Amino acid sequence: MTANGAAERFDVVIVGGGPGGSMLAMDLRRAGLSVLIVERQTFPRYHIGESLTGMAGEMLRELGLAEEMRRRQFPPKGGVKVIGKDAKSEFFVPVLAPTWQVRRNEFDAILLEKALEAGAVHRVGTARDVIRDGDKVVGLEYSPADAPAQRCTVQCHFTADASGLGVFFSRIGLAGRRTLFDFARQVAVFTQYRNARRDPGEMGLNTFIFYNQTYEWAWFIPIAPDVVSIGIVVPVDRLHACGNDPVSLMEWGLEHINPDLRERVAGCDRIELVRSIADYSYDIQPYAGDGWLCIGDAHRFIDPIFSFGVSLAMTEARAAARTIVAILTGADWQEALSSYVAYCDRGQNVAVDILRFFWQFPMFFGFQIRGRHRKDFIRLLGSDLYTPETNALVKLIREQLRQATHVGGAV
C-alpha cells in the first residue's frame, strides 16, 4: 500500500533477488517495464552454488560485468577436473567459454545492484500470497522485513517466482506440487577451508570433483586466493550413520571420499560453519499460468555435480523476460507460456539425461572427453543444453539410456 492507502502498481513483480530474479529484472527494465523485486533477505547473504559454467560467463560478459568480476578477484575457471575412485584415474573438461568461480554473497549482490541501477525497485520482505482475479494472478501480498505482521499489496500485470528452493508458487498451491527426482535422496554438507593444497598455476583455479561411488562425491572449488569451498554429497543414510551431525559427515567425507581430497585438506583450517541441504532435487509441473510463471530453482533443481544451477536460472530468466514482454504487448498468453515451458523443459530435460547417464556410466564420460564427441561434451558441460538437435552426444546418451531401461528396467 502507498501512504494514502492505495495499492502500489508495477508492470511486473518478481519474488526473489537471486541470479534468476535479478537477471529477469534487468531484461524487463531494458524493455521499459516497471519492476518490483521482493527479496526476503538483506544482501549480501550466504548462498551455495559457487562454480559457474561457460554459458553463465557469456551472460556476465554481455551484462558488462567482466571487469567487475576481475576487480573482485573471482578466480577465473578454466575447467573441471574429475578425479576417480581412490584417485586412480582422472579427466579434465575445459570450459566452453571463460567463466568464474564466485563467492555467492558478493556475486548475487552485484547482480541485484545491477538490476537496481537499471531501475528496478527492491523491497526487503517475504512474499505471502498472490492476488487473483478469477484464475488470473494480478498482484502480490508480502510482509516487509521491518514489519513482519503487516501485509503490503502490490498490483501488477505479471508475477514471476524466482524464489529458488523456497518454491513460493508451489507452496501457496499456485504451481504444482514438488515431485522428488531419484537424485533426491542425497544430502550435501559444505563449508570453506583456508590454504587447502591446490594444483600449481591456473589448474589450481579449477573445480575439482572427487568421485567415490554412485551418488557419493565431493566438490573442491577455489573461491578466493586462499579459500576453497568444499562440499560432500552422499545418500542421506550416510548422514544418519554419522548421528545426523553435518560436522561428523564432513569429517567422514574428507577422510573417506577420496585419498587425494584427504591430502589436500589435511591440517587446514575450516573458516566457515558446516551447512547442509537435503531434498533439493525436484520437479514442479505446471509452472506457468495466466499472469504468472516460475524460473530457475523455483520449478526444478536436479543435481549440483555439473554446476548448471545459476546458468539455468539466468537462461530461463532471459526466456521469461521475452515471454512477459510479448504477453504484455498483446501476444496470446497461452501460446507464449507454452513456448516458454517447452524451451525450459528442453534444456532441463537434457540436463536430467546427462546426469542420469553420468551416474550410470561414469567411465563413459572420461572416455568421451578424449574421443570423437569431445566438442559436444564440452558444450553440454558448459550448459549449452537448449539445442539438443545440434548435439550428437545427446542423441547417443538418450539412445543408451533407452537401451539400459529396456535391458535393465528403470534407469
Give me the residues that bind ligand FAD (CB under 6 A), please.
15-21, 38-41, 47-52, 126-127, 162-166, 168, 188, 231, 277, 280, 296-298, 301, 304, 307, 309-311, 313
- The nearest distance, CB 233 to ligand FAD, in angstroms, is 7
> d(Cα 120, Cα 115) in Å, to the nearest integer?
6
> d(Cα 303, Cα 316) in Å, to the nearest integer?
17
Residue among 148 and 204 whose Cβ is closer to ligand FAD: 148
Residue among 294 and 336 whose Cβ is closer to ligand FAD: 294
- The nearest distance, CB 243 to ligand FAD, in angstroms, is 21
- Comparing C-alpha atoms, which of 165, 122, 157 is closest to residue 142? 122
Residue among 277 and 369 whose Cβ is closer to ligand FAD: 277
CB of 217 closer than 8 Å to CB of 211: yes
- Residue 221 forms beta bridges with which residues? 229
> d(Cα 109, Cα 116) in Å, to the nearest integer?
10
- Other Cβ atoms less than 10 A from the Cβ of 125: the count is 22
> d(Cα 393, Cα 373) in Å, to the nearest integer?
6
- The nearest distance, CB 309 to ligand FAD, in angstroms, is 2
Residues 6+ apart with CB under 8 A from 248: 242
Torsions phi, psi for 150 (to 5 deg): -85, 155
DSSP annotation of 73 reads T
> d(Cα 128, Cα 149) in Å, to the nearest integer?
11
- The nearest distance, CB 375 to ligand FAD, in angstroms, is 22
CB of 308 closer than 8 Å to CB of 358: no
Residue among 296 and 373 whose Cβ is closer to ligand FAD: 296
Query: Whats the size of the chain, residue-wise?
Result: 411
Beta strands 178-180 and 35-39, pairing class: unpaired
Residue among 16 and 79 whose Cβ is closer to ligand FAD: 16
Residue among 59 and 394 whose Cβ is closer to ligand FAD: 59
CB of 85 closer than 8 Å to CB of 211: yes
Residue among 15 and 393 whose Cβ is closer to ligand FAD: 15
Residue among 276 and 391 whose Cβ is closer to ligand FAD: 276
Residue among 50 and 384 whose Cβ is closer to ligand FAD: 50
Alpha helices in 258-308 (DSSP H): 259-265
Q: At CA 143, angle to CA 104 and CA 18, rounded to 5? A: 20
- The nearest distance, CB 130 to ligand FAD, in angstroms, is 11
- Comparing C-alpha atoms, which of 344, 349, 338, 301 is closest to residue 319? 344
- The nearest distance, CB 179 to ligand FAD, in angstroms, is 17
